[in-house]
Amino acid sequence: MSGKKGSENKYQVAGADLSGIRNRNELRVLKMMERVLDEYPGVSRDVLNIQDIYALALNLLPARYTQQFSIVLDDPVDDWQIRKALCNAVEKVRDNPTGPDREFEGR
């Protein structure tokens, strides 16, 4: 099985394409992330820290999965909650970095 064919089928079950189902909070977190990071100038912006902050913020929010072309009438997660989740995530990663700035015991 070639890599391309495998990746095409990654989000299919019983012939149903599930690739259009997304957590609505993903884009909302991404849009706010840069502004929140600007409030924490001492936090390293290496790839691992950014990925950790993004994943942790999403995990702190309730999932809001929708299908492609879904009509969303109400969104119970407001910008304040997203900002709070991002701030909590930044602070946790700052205090427990996983990137190259991480300090190891015994050094």
8 A C-beta contact, residue 33 and residue 54: yes
Q: What is the CA radius of gyration of the chain?
A: 17
Q: At 50, is the pLDDT very low, low, confident or very high (cuts 50, 70, 90)?
A: very high
Q: In the chain, what are the domain boundaries?
A: 18-95
Report the mean per-residue pLDDT for the chain. Answer: 84
Q: If DSSP codes are grouped into helix, strand and coil, which group holds residue 22?
A: strand
pTM for this model (two decimals): 0.77
The rounded distance, in Å, linking the Cα atoms of 86 and 57 is 5
